[in-house]
């Protein structure tokens, strides 16, 4: 059941270990991998630029820059929506991926979401008519091009930079965009912070404890996770697989920022996408489908789409 002023934020992270329930944030968002070692990634900034040229051909997609990285690379955002010639509520969903360059699966899942949204299927059409999707498929292009694991060109983990003064350029660009959205006629209702877990056997949400949020927020998280999980029960762990913020809001992450500024107005979650051997693995389809349909259910958008 959707509450009128409810917003949602989801994040996706990658780990080398599967973290049990009641784990603390420093295990989930470890800084131990923030070493300046380089490796060549199979999907780099040039790959994104090629894909952007294909997406530009789609009539439902508009592509714009939201700012520049440390080394001057453009941080791109896709906006996906339909004509929306109706009087029903229209909800905004914000997505950003590839904060940590070694989490390639986070970007692949994001691509699958874009594929669903830009398709001429019943599901795609309904989503475009009732939602505005704003998607950043590669949030940390410098880190990707430099072959780093978790940091940008300055050696900073963007995931932990949301309360640092000044912010890194990439964080400042995304934060400013979110601030603009939150003050618009269609504020962000759901924000997906896409990451991935290299050691897990199922996808999972990182649940935020009442000590760092509120009793109502705990209820809301369980409801949202249940809505998404109902479409991919075999592939997503239950809400209590990993619990964080047991000693309070750590005040470093994008989810921390949303909670500090909007409290129950924004539900901030982290979702971990497991690793796959190929970019067209069927599990991306299953996860993307579950997320999109779960979003519709949580916001009471009725669908008969197959």
Q: Is 73 a domain residue?
A: yes
> Which residues partner with 75 through β-bridges?
67
Q: Is 305 a domain residue?
A: no
Q: Report CA 17 to chain centroid distance, whole Å.
A: 20
Q: Is 187 a domain residue?
A: yes
214: CATH: 3.40.630.10
What pLDDT score was predicted for residue 86? 94
Angle between helices 104-117 and 282-298 (to 10 degrees): 60
What pLDDT score was predicted for residue 13? 42
- pTM of the entire predicted model: 0.88
Q: What share of the chain is helix, strand, coil (3-state, %, to 5)?
A: 35, 20, 45
Q: Is 274 a domain residue?
A: yes
What pLDDT score was predicted for residue 175? 98
Across 5-56, the runs of DSSP E, i.e. the strands, are: 8-11
What pLDDT score was predicted for residue 281? 85
Element at 48 (helix H, strand E)? helix 45-55
Domain coverage including residue 275: 8-298
Please give the C-alpha separations between residue 99 and each of 127, 196, 208, 222, 223, in angstroms, as whole numbers: 25, 10, 20, 26, 27
Q: Is 306 a domain residue?
A: no
Please give the C-alpha separations between residue 161 and each of 68, 80, 171, 264, in angstroms, as whole numbers: 16, 28, 7, 22
Count up the domains in the chain and report the number. 1
Q: Is 247 a domain residue?
A: yes
* Burial class for 56, CB neighbours closer than 10 Å (0-12, 13-18, 19+): exposed
Confirm if 254 and 162 have CB atoms less than 8 A apart: yes
Confirm if 259 and 266 have CB atoms less than 8 A apart: yes
pLDDT in tens, the chain (306 residues): 444 444 444 444 433 333 333 333 444 444 445 455 556 688 999 999 999 999 999 999 999 999 999 999 999 999 999 999 999 999 999 999 999 999 999 999 999 999 999 999 999 999 999 999 999 999 999 999 999 999 999 999 999 999 999 999 999 999 999 999 999 999 998 888 888 888 899 998 888 999 999 999 999 989 999 999 999 999 999 999 989 999 999 999 999 999 999 888 877 777 888 888 777 789 999 999 999 999 999 999 986 555
Residue found by looking up tokens 């697989």 in the block: 241
What pLDDT score was predicted for residue 303? 64
Confirm if 212 and 268 have CB atoms less than 8 A apart: no
Q: Is 60 a domain residue?
A: yes
Q: Is 294 a domain residue?
A: yes
CA 269 – CA 44 distance, rounded (Å)? 27
**The Cα angle at residue 245 between residues 244 and 250, in degrees rounded to 5:** 125
Please give the C-alpha separations between residue 50 and each of 53, 58, 68, 145, in angstroms, as whole numbers: 5, 14, 18, 15
Please give the C-alpha separations between residue 262 and each of 10, 90, 182, in angstroms, as whole numbers: 15, 20, 10
């Amino acid at each position: 059941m959707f509450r009128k002023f409810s917003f949602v934020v989801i994040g996706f992270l990658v780990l080398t270990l599967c973290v049990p329930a009641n784990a603390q944030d420093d295990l989930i968002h470890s800084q131990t991998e923030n070493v300046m070692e380089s490796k060549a990634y199979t999907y780099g900034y040039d790959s994104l630029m090629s894909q952007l040229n294909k997406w530009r051909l789609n009539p439902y997609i508009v592509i714009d820059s939201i700012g520049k990285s440390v080394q001057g690379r453009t941080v791109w955002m896709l906006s996906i929506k339909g004509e929306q010639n109706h009087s029903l509520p229209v909800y905004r969903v914000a997505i950003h991926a590839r904060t940590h360059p070694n989490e390639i699966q986070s970007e692949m899942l994001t691509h699958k979401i874009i594929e669903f949204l830009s398709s001429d299927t019943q599901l795609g059409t309904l989503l475009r008519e009732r939602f505005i999707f704003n998607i950043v498929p590669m949030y940390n292009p410098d880190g990707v091009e430099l072959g780093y694991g978790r940091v940008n060109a300055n050696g900073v983990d963007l995931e932990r930079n949301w309360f640092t003064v000044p912010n890194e350029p990439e964080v400042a660009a995304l934060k400013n965009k979110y601030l603009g959205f939150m003050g618009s006629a269609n504020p962000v209702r759901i924000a997906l912070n896409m990451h991935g877990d290299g050691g897990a056997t199922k996808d999972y949400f990182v649940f935020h404890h009442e000590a760092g949020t509120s009793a109502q927020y705990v209820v809301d998280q369980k409801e949202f996770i249940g809505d998404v999980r109902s479409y991919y029960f075999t592939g997503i762990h239950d809400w209590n697989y990993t619990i964080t913020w047991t000693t309070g809001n750590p005040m470093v992450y994008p989810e921390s920022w949303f909670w500090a500024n909007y409290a129950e107005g924004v539900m901030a979650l982290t979702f971990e996408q497991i690793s796959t051997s190929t970019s067209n693995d069927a599990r991306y389809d299953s996860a993307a489908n579950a997320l999109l349909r779960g979003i519709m259910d949580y916001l009471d958008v009725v669908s008969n789409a197959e």
